Amino acid sequence: MMSPPLENDLKAAIRNIPDYPKPGIMFRDITTLLGNARAFRRAVDELVQPWPGTKIDKVAGIEARGFILGGAVAHQVSAGFVPIRKKGKLPHTTVRIAYSLEYGLDEMEMHEDAIVRGDKVILVDDLIATGGTAEGAVKLLRQMGAEILAACFIIDLPELGGAAKLRALDVPVRTLVSFEGH
Ligand code: AMP
């Protein structure tokens, strides 16, 4: 876990929007954190802090906010970047997996040649809630032969169980701040 002052600093940089996109959901808006140079740098530094000197081949980011963070993290650790996208967006041959959302299923894809068997990969997204999205990404990456070193998120909603779900899949999870509830 992070030191309490640092967690509070990052929390203060995140904007909370009640009842978005629907009643009962508190949307954790990281655009304010991204717009704050100090908070953005600090978040990127802290996301990969446990892996100094580890050779990381690829950082995989989940559309869309995971692209912004994942790109910065990949640059930071001198790794390549792999986009995991909603279906139908990638131009070359893809591999696809279905994953569960709060209501129903969706599919995500990546290019079939984005990962070389044995690549050491860190997965990045802004927030983990139920873990359905990240679980899908882990399975897709593993299907292509990736070794997942960790999954990193700025925000954890621990009551929704996503981080525990990933740890049960033997994926080390790094989160920087947590909020109660949804
Ligand atoms: P899940 O698959 O339930 O872990 O949901 C994670 C995905 O949904 C991430 O890509 C998040 O960006 C988004 N998400 C879920 N809940 C919230 C929330 N309360 N605020 C902002 N984004 C959320």
Domain spans of the chain, in order of start: 51-178
Specify the ligand 1 atom closest to the Cα of 133.
2
Cα of 177 vs centre of ligand 1, distance in Å, is 14
Q: What is the pLDDT of residue 1?
A: 61
Cα of 128 vs centre of ligand 1, distance in Å, is 6
**Amino acid occupying residue 13:** A
pLDDT tens, N- to C-terminus, the chain (182 residues): 678 888 999 999 999 999 999 999 999 999 999 999 999 999 999 999 999 899 999 999 999 999 999 999 999 999 999 999 999 999 999 999 999 887 789 999 999 999 999 999 999 999 999 999 999 999 999 999 999 999 999 999 999 999 999 999 999 999 999 999 88
Q: What is the 3-state secondary structure (H, E, C) of the chain?
A: CCCHHHHHHHHHHCEEEECCCCCCCEEEECHHHHCCHHHHHHHHHHHCCCCCCCCCCEEEEECCHHHHHHHHHHHHCCCEEEEEEECCCCCCCEEEEEEECCCCEEEEEEECCCCCCCCEEEEEEEEECCCHHHHHHHHHHHHCCCEEEEEEEEEECHHHCHHHHHHHCCCCEEEEEECCCC
151 lines ligand 1 (CB under 6 A): no
Specify the ligand 1 atom closest to the Cα of 99.
2
CATH 3.40.50.2020 fits 51-178, yes or no: yes
Cα of 101 vs centre of ligand 1, distance in Å, is 9
